[in-house]
Amino acid sequence: MQTSQSFGIHFTTRPDIAKDGKEPIYACVTVNRQRAYIALKQNVDPKNWDSGKGAAKVTRMKIY
């Protein structure tokens, strides 16, 4: 008998519990259609988060 398992991970923010204008980042792990959200204990400014990619936007700082 052959079994099939699925696994996926993506990152998301939770705007409903934002503090100081920053949203906490969560990892959503899915195994066989069972989801678990893990708090990464990191916050991000919503304008620096790309929800389509599930990642922070790339920014380049000019250092002189």
Structural domain boundaries in the chain: 7-56
Q: What angle do CA 5, 29, 57 make, to 5 degrees?
A: 130
- 20-37 per-position pLDDT tens digit: 899 999 999 999 999 999
- For residues 35 and 29, the answer to whether their CB atoms sit within 8 Å is yes
Q: What is the mean pLDDT of residues 35-49?
A: 93
Q: What is the mean pLDDT of residues 29-53?
A: 93
Q: Could you tell me the pLDDT band of residue 3, with boundaries at 50, 70 and 90?
A: confident
- Per-residue model confidence (pLDDT) at position 43: 92
Reply yes or no on whether the pLDDT at 1 is more than 90: no
